[in-house]
Amino acid sequence: MDTINILLIGDIVGRPGRTIIKDHLSEICKEYSVHCVIANCENAAGGISITPEIAQELFSYKIHVLTTGNHIFNNRTIIKLLESNKYILRPANFPKGVPGKGYTIIKINDFTIAIVNLIGRINMEPVDCPFIAFNTLYDEITSKTNIIIVDFHAEATSEKKAFGWFADGRASAVCGTHTHVQTADETILPNGTAYITDVGMTGPFDSVIGMDKESSIHNFIYHTRIKFKVAQNDPRLNAVLVTCNKQGRAVSITRIIKSYELSPGNS
């Protein structure tokens, strides 16, 4: 095997998102000859967090590594799992002392793959610099592998674009998450890094980025912060397939969007 096919799944939102993974991940893996699955799970529990039970549920559907983002500590029961399980990550550029880890290394067939989770700082919490954090991690990781997949969880397009150029030739892929809207700018940068500003969302699209439309509109108008509910309808999967060679360079990046019928237990 000269290349490896890595599927990156955009933020899984609530039960509708999990149901898509349960019902359809294996057929997608067959269709695209996927060897490695990485998914962002920060919204998998009720749309705003992840629990240990739901993380284990997602692992049972054959996801190799779960990445997260700004919602990771909304449910603190996840802390133990972050500390004990090397396949669930929190952003690497959270300050020193934060539980969990920001990257992991897995082996699949002849390939050793590092998965790095970073988070942006523009219109987000004031964490450590993701660029400097990547430099430090890169020095650590390159002694072990040159296949490095980055989930860059960030709001600002400019910050993601800048990071893509910054990591070009060092990361195999820089895939943005967090906005829940897939961008159509997938490309291979000149030095061999696959790049997309945002992979998108796996969840209900009849929504405001996964949340019930009415509560979202209400909160924008009245600022009374009524509780968001996960929406239910129009389930879709957003992902990208990145193919990398043994040198850690990307040879292709393909956007994937799938629409599904609502499954009976999910209405």
- Is 71 assigned a catalytic role? yes
Q: Amino acid identity, residue 139?
A: D
Nearest distance from residue 40's CB to Fe ion, in Å?
7
Interface with Fe ion includes 69 (CB under 5 A)?
A: yes
The token pair that represents 114 in the structure block: 């590092």
Binding mask 104-143 for Fe ion (x = CB under 5 A): ----------------------------------------
Q: Which residue has the tokens 């998965």?
A: 115
Q: Which is nearer to Fe ion, 137 or 209 (CB)?
A: 209
Task: Mention every residue, 6+ apart, whose C-beta is less than 8 A from residue 221.
Answer: none
Interface with Fe ion includes 67 (CB under 5 A)?
A: no
Distances (CA, A) of 41 to 60, 150, 232, 253, 267: 14, 15, 17, 21, 21
| Number of residues counted as binding Fe ion (CB under 5 A) | 6
Interface with Fe ion includes 11 (CB under 5 A)?
A: yes
Say which of 71, 153, 178, 180 is annotated catalytic.
71
Nearest to 242 by CA among 5, 52, 3: 5
Interface with Fe ion includes 68 (CB under 5 A)?
A: no
Q: Which is nearer to Fe ion, 41 or 114 (CB)?
A: 41
Q: Which is nearer to Fe ion, 70 or 238 (CB)?
A: 70
Q: Which of 43, 49, 172, 202 binds Fe ion (CB under 5 A)?
A: 43
- E-strand ranges in the chain read 3-9, 11-12, 36-40, 65-67, 103-108, 111-119, 147-153, 173-177, 187-188, 194-196, 201-204, 235-245, 250-259
Helix or strand run (H / E) with residue 28: helix 14-31
Q: Which is nearer to Fe ion, 43 or 266 (CB)?
A: 43
Nearest to 244 by CA among 146, 152, 167: 146
Interface with Fe ion includes 178 (CB under 5 A)?
A: yes
Nearest distance from residue 12's CB to Fe ion, in Å?
9
Q: Which is nearer to Fe ion, 146 or 155 (CB)?
A: 155
The residues with which 8 forms a beta bridge, in sequence order, are 38, 240
Nearest distance from residue 88's CB to Fe ion, in Å?
15
The region of 62-70, 100-108, 182-190, 218-226 touching Fe ion under the rule CB under 5 A is: 62-70
* Degrees, nearest 5: CA angle 205-60-171: 70
Residues within the interface to Fe ion (CB under 5 A): 11, 42-43, 69-70, 178
Cite the active site residues: 71
